[in-house]
Amino acid sequence: MEKVRQVLNDKAWARWTALALIASMMFFAYMFVDVMSPLQELLEVRLGWSPTAFGNYAGAEYMLNVFGFLIVAGIILDKMGVRFTGTLSASLMVGGAVIKLYAISPLFVGTAFDGWLSSWWTAMPGSAKLAALGFMIFGCGCEMAGITVSKAIARWFDGKEMALAMGCEMALARLGVFAVFSLSPRLSQALGGDPSVVVPVAFCTVLLLIGLICFIVFTVMDRTLDRQTGVGSGETSSEEEFKLSDVGGLFRSRLFWIIALLCVLYYSAIFPFQRFGTNMLQCNLGISAETAADLLRWFPIGAL
């Protein structure tokens, strides 16, 4: 009798290890997304950010994605495959995070560059403008990573526990929101003396670098899977090749626009609330940032 040859994703330990690696990247990404959400009051005191400046900074994460970058990211993923796109997205997240960290650090604040950036559109201080640029780059990487992770899970769990794996990945990402609301206000005071926004942002930037390393380890496993399945260097099949007509067909679909509208309504309610919720509770209940963040951190636990 011919022996059935197992490939890497036939082994449960390998599948779940691959999931742990890519889900860790998203866990750290979701931590960075909201690392400054509980620190709005501190940003106002230390860096002079008004609520308008903070809102413009927060919205910058989605700016390029709204105007077509996610479509480009999908094309890149179809053309270049999971390994290239995931590494690129993780690198964009780290690069954007470093820019944002520099923008709020003493290395930038008070410099001539800061003064020049602050001299135009005075509603946004120079630190907020540069932080928004970094957050915009990070956002491109984060959203690109989201679709890449979904495709990677579909590849590794094809015919197996695919829905469970996707649920676990999203649950871990939601745990990242819980974790950062718990940690960020405390990390801002971790060094003693005056509270600092730099410490929690630096901490989460290091975690993003660890997430990049995790994904690189995953690419090694994924390359091994390619060799075993005989796919070679191509991670896409001819059926998956991008065609411009596919985009036109998608935009003509009534079902697509209904689903898109539901997502717009949901996201427009949830994400602004995450950004401003801590400060809203502080102002209305007269409580500290730590207590407000501890209250707000529980809402993603239901989804988890």
Ranges of residues in the chain whose predicted pLDDT is under 70: 1-5, 231-247
Q: Which helix (H) or strand (E) holds 103?
A: helix 70-104
Give the pLDDT of residue 237.
47
Q: Give CATH for domain 9-232+242-303.
A: 1.20.1250.20
For the four alpha carbons of 229, 230, 235 and 241, in that order, the dihedral sign comes to negative
> How many other C-beta atoms lie within 10 A of the C-beta of residue 277?
22
Give the pLDDT of residue 240.
55
Give the pLDDT of residue 5.
67
Give the pLDDT of residue 232.
53
Give the span between the Cα atoms of 230 and 61, in whole angstroms.
39
Lookup result for tokens 């923008």: 103
Give the span between the Cα atoms of 61 and 74, in whole angstroms.
18
Q: Which helix (H) or strand (E) holds 183?
A: helix 162-187
- Closest-CA residue to 81 (of 242, 298, 304): 242
Question: Residue-wise over 220-244: b if at least 16 C-beta within 10 A, else e?
Answer: ebbeebbeeeebeeebbeeeeeeee
Judge if pTM exceeds 0.85. yes
Give the span between the Cα atoms of 124 and 102, in whole angstroms.
16
Q: Which amino acid is at 39?
A: L
Give the pLDDT of residue 233.
45
Compute the C-alpha angle 297/301/304, nearest 5°. Answer: 140
Specify the DSSP class assigned to residue 108. T
Give the pLDDT of residue 245.
65
160, two tokens: 């197996």
Q: Judge contact between 165 and 157, C-beta under 8 A.
A: yes
Give the pLDDT of residue 238.
41
Q: Judge contact between 72 and 89, C-beta under 8 A.
A: no
- Closest-CA residue to 22 (of 121, 175, 166): 166
Compute the C-alpha angle 97/274/297, nearest 5°. Answer: 100
97, two tokens: 């995070």
Give the pLDDT of residue 175.
93
Largest CA distance in the chain: 78
Structural domain boundaries in the chain: 9-232+242-303
